């Protein structure tokens, strides 16, 4: 078996986890959640997004979240366009996640542009960010299936990633947005990406819509991936991807890895405490296995 000794977890709960939550969560409660997550040992995290507050009202307190939660670790803010980047420049945050969908229909629904238009906008923005010393992560949505167009070709994913690598991104986060990938598909796509882009950080982002996310994590590990986006409590979903449910739960991934002797540096008890902080404010229950067995 091809298994790493250590894995980096990128916690996306405060962003992906909450962006689709029906209850408007107070800034104070989000800050308490983030602070508990950080105390569990998480070192990389998506804090929030600079997106239109009309499109995603839950993220409208991005500035306050950034002011309260920035620390010396890697804290990402999502931004899809020039306006988002200009807002980012007014903060002290030095890590940004841009995002685009491989499939046209999804990209149009998510950010109101074709994939080609988004890439034309993002090229000069990424060059500028790199010149200014920012860490840039590119999130690639619908890398396996699109909710509107069905199966997405792996050649299209590799081609889009290749453009991002030419723009100079530090990291590719490749996503199964609607949780339809099988472990076989996950293995082959991540193996191709590892081979194609050996000098760029590669992260896998799985949603657990059909219960295949942990199996997909294992498949991606076999393909050489050692970075995973996960969400505490298994919260998550994109408001513009019908049928997408939560991300793979951080505590389930950390537990599985720990049982296999793979280090993440994350304390599971403290992670459970973080989920307990956000749970009372959510419109849905926590479905992660580890949380259910340990509360």
Interface with ligand HMG in residues 244-263 (CB under 6 A): none
Minimal distance in Å, beta carbon 222 to Mg ion? 22
246 binds, among Mg ion, ligand HMG, none (CB under 5 to 8 A by kind): none
Nearest 10 degrees: CA dihedral of 177, 64, 25, 14? 30
Asked if 161 contacts 174 with a C-beta cutoff of 8 angstroms, the reply is yes
Minimal distance in Å, beta carbon 215 to Mg ion? 18
Cβ burial of 173 (10 Å; 0-12, 13-18, 19+) is buried
Q: Considering only residues 27, 35, 52, 222, which one is a binding residue for ligand HMG as defined by CB under 6 A?
A: 52
Minimal distance in Å, beta carbon 157 to ligand HMG? 12
Q: Residue 79, interface with ligand HMG (CB under 6 A)?
A: yes
Bridge partner list, 227: 8
Q: Considering only residues 63, 105, 112, 200, which one is a binding residue for ligand HMG as defined by CB under 6 A?
A: 112
Q: What is the contact mask toward ligand HMG in residues 161 to 200, using x (rule: CB under 6 A)?
A: --------------x-x-----------------------
| Opening angle at CA 119, ends 118 and 125, nearest 5 | 95
Selected catalytic residue, list 69, 93, 146, 238: 238
Calculate the alpha carbon distances from 9 to 28, 45, 155, 197 in Å.
Answer: 24, 8, 27, 20
Q: Residue 99, interface with ligand HMG (CB under 6 A)?
A: yes
Q: Residue 11, interface with Mg ion (CB under 5 A)?
A: no
CA 227 to chain centre: 11
Cβ burial of 131 (10 Å; 0-12, 13-18, 19+) is exposed
Residue 238 annotated in active site: yes
| Residue 233 DSSP label | G
Selected range binding ligand HMG among 107-115, 180-188, 210-218, 258-266, rule: CB under 6 A: 107-115
Q: What are phi and psi of 138, to 5 degrees?
A: -110, 120
49 binds, among Mg ion, ligand HMG, none (CB under 5 to 8 A by kind): ligand HMG
Q: At what angle do helices 250-259 and 268-278 cross, to 10 degrees?
A: 170
Q: Considering only residues 10, 15, 16, 100, which one is a binding residue for Mg ion as defined by CB under 5 A?
A: 16
Length of the chain: 295
Asked if 247 contacts 217 with a C-beta cutoff of 8 angstroms, the reply is no
Minimal distance in Å, beta carbon 229 to Mg ion? 7
For ligand HMG, the binding residues (CB under 6 A) are: 16, 19, 49-52, 55-56, 79-81, 83-84, 87, 99, 110-112, 139, 141, 175, 177, 205, 207, 238, 240
For Mg ion, the binding residues (CB under 5 A) are: 16
By annotation, the residues acting in catalysis are 238
């Amino acid at each position: 078996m091809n298994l790493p000794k250590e894995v980096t977890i990128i916690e996306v709960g405060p962003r992906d986890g909450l962006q689709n939550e029906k209850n408007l969560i107070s800034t104070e409660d989000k800050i308490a959640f983030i602070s508990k997550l950080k105390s569990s040992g998480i070192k990389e995290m998506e804090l929030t997004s600079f997106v239109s507050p009309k499109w995603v009202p839950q993220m409208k307190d991005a500035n306050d979240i950034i002011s309260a939660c920035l620390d010396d670790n890697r804290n990402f803010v999502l931004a899809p366009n020039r306006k988002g980047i200009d807002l980012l420049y007014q903060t002290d945050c030095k890590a940004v996640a841009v995002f685009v969908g491989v499939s046209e229909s999804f990209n149009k629904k998510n950010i109101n542009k074709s994939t080609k238009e988004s890439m034309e906008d993002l090229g000069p923005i990424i060059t500028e960010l790199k010149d200014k010393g920012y860490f840039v992560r590119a999130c690639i949505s619908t890398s396996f299936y699109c909710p509107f167009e069905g199966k997405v070709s792996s050649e299209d994913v590799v081609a889009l990633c290749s453009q991002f690598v030419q723009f100079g991104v530090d990291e590719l986060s490749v996503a199964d947005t609607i949780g339809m990938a099988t472990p076989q598909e996950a293995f082959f796509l991540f193996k191709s990406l590892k081979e194609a882009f050996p000098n760029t950080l590669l992260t896998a982002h799985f949603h657990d819509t059909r219960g295949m996310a942990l199996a997909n994590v294992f498949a991606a590990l076999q393909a050489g991936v050692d970075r995973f986006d996960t969400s505490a409590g298994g919260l998550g979903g994109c408001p513009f991807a019908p049928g997408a449910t939560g991300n793979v739960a951080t505590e389930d991934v950390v537990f599985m890895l720990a049982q296999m002797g793979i280090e993440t540096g994350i304390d599971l008890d403290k992670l459970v405490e973080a989920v307990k902080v956000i749970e009372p404010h959510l419109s849905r229950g926590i479905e992660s296995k580890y949380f259910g067995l340990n509360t």
